[in-house]
Structure 1
């Protein structure tokens, strides 16, 4: 592994998302970081399901329209074969392209008509997917006004330039973290003001909260309160993820990353009264589920299972793949649900309470009646709640 590759891996392990959270809050259009082979390293904002599940060879690799343009090492804005606007911006260090910031994957008002020209039946046959799934994925692609696409391109360019700066600093092994953060903070604040002035419609009230949290985190950094800085960044990420109440599917990996931050914060609160373990194999993480499906189950385990125990307990999240299904289990060694709570859960027509019933219905709406949520066990030794989903999109019913 050469020096550049090693730095790239180290950067992916850092708070890269949090660093640009103030800017990312300005747009919900696709924005990703890829390597020179086209493999997706980090999703700042996810791609449309049409691009990720239909056009791409696999979920972790960008589509062939992008791949064909990577060998030039130059930036590009192009229209793909299906009429979507796309942005490609190189990350260059010492005249070497080491990756790209890519994004958009939207229709403009002038090109929206092309979605109606896609031969859904031929595509369904070629991709071995259900026509209904393809039709819904196409319908979900955003149509964005040209000026907003241009603003998003500026955002992508700014992030690409700052990543270049990060890489350059890491490769040269310099120790200028405080100076860099000060410069970056000033640049981000200036860019946010500029973007807000150009298009106020891209800004919503929660962004003030996120920006304030990030400012406090930076102050904690300068004061060397690293634990406080980390907690604030995690809280900011949790709030942002929880506000993504869209109707798109998220990867299991993204959901688990959110849950791990939630449990980390709870661990600081409960200290040695809470232990947790997340065991999700890498080949399961790219599969997609509705957002905020698993966290309510984890919260229930904490509230009803672990909190009442004097010595606390442990929560384990485990996933396994069996044939064409994936089962994700939330297991705790608490006291089990209180009798009255368990009776309440079992009094509905689906044998589940309101919160769990809502989760079960969401899963069935996406994947069909054969999938959903079950309370596999709940007694004095603890509880096990399991959700089941299909491994393939065409398993939808």
Structure 2
């Protein structure tokens, strides 16, 4: 599983990972760092506690920390899930593995806390903590000042970190497949079967990218909002935002590649709209009206979000006063009809034509809009494609049908 041929920073966008890491450190108040598969840090630490900073200031302490990171990261990779452990210095940490194309490249660590869970085992038997603190009162004081956090909160945070890592890995694997396809187009054009396989894999990743990773821009903006809330309140609203974001990511990762009921998809959309309403305040308003007769219609997991996200970010947000988005679902003979309307700034006719024909994809929002329409066509046929009508400074209406059976 180890990959010695390529570095983590050659495959994953480490700058983006650093930005996410810093935001998570601000929100949770915990320490974060990213290491390669050898346990060596590849970026700047975030929010390290005084105790751990002093431990790492010694040659022996630094060596033990690096060895612990290497061991814990590999253990997490073997388990293919976050690994919670107590380090030799006596504090609880969590290692979340970064695995790309079945190769373990490194891990995200967070923690440096004490907790109530007595089942958190030491990563190895050691008297290092006792030896360090025995004759160093100041260090013992620093240890006792480290954050105490309930174990259930640690689990909530590591589930969010795990999902964020999966988003970045998904993006990295998609880029890797695209590069491989480009190379084969040039060098191995005659190998049609290989080209076909790669093209099918690209389609799968495009569908997955539509269904799973809510845009990383949205994730960073949301983390920034949560960070700001953490500074101005104490901190029920912040906890609610973290919970909403976790639920949103959990829904995406759990249901990727499947069909879900319209009712379940709308529940997820409500979480997304709640987050955006918190972020933009009174500028973003929404109304949802779904006929109960169409609640059980099965749809691709994330088919609604691209249209709604584009409506909010490109339609309503540019207006100083914001606006209203209406989402309606109703029964129409043999089909369900989904109707999404906003009173935003609208889309110019030539821009809309280019987006729907894949000729003017300037960013992830336009790309997701194009992909969502293609998914509708591929799943249900040409007659079920989205119909988008827009007037500049008036608003945009999206409608599409879904077969009831």
The answer to whether TM tops 0.5 is: no
Give the TM interval when normalised to the shorter protein.
0.3 to 0.5
Q: Tell me which structure has the larger Cα radius of gyration.
A: 2
- TM-score, with length taken from structure 1: 0.42
- TM-score, with length taken from structure 2: 0.41
The structure whose residues are more often helix, as a share, is: 2
